[in-house]
Structure 1
């Protein structure tokens, strides 16, 4: 296999130059592979990366929740109008809330 040294120089490479280039390419590939295996086997570092990533996701979620909580007072003002438009749904939700409160009171009394 004879290749050229570069695009501007058209002299063919000798067999030893071709082998050296192939050997250098193989060394680089092996070094990349070892580096990737080392990264994958470094469990404490990967755990820190995962924890950091989870922390960032939780922080983002908390910020989004805070933004949504700011919208709750406006939604509470709209609640009477919504219940007038959907009286059966409002009655069902109210019934579930009362039933849940009753069950909780019963459980608290039962465990005392």
Structure 2
């Protein structure tokens, strides 16, 4: 469904992909933990300058990051890694620390794409 329709901009600490939809120039978010794809209704400038800066908790789950980071003795993530759900939320996993683990971001997406029907 999304093949050749977007350009990847970045990924975050949870392996979520932020991409630019080619037809509309709007930022979309691929969320592997929930299996959802979100349309932000914002171009890259609005997304960066307004949405992220004014809503870091909603956009980057920064509150959960702080909680996870502290619980893991402030150990930094390697560039290739993300914090993934052991059991995705859409398969009944819980949104809690015990369900989080460090994973290679490419491996995480290879596992999640078929489950998300991407």
TM exceeding 0.5: no
TM-score grouping bracket, smaller chain normalisation: under 0.3
- Using the size of structure 1 for normalisation, the TM-score is 0.23
**Structure index of larger Rg:** 1
User: Looking at both structures, which has the greater relative contact order when contacts are Cα pairs under 8 Å and sequence separation is at least 6?
Assistant: 2
Structure 1 or 2: more helix by fraction: 1
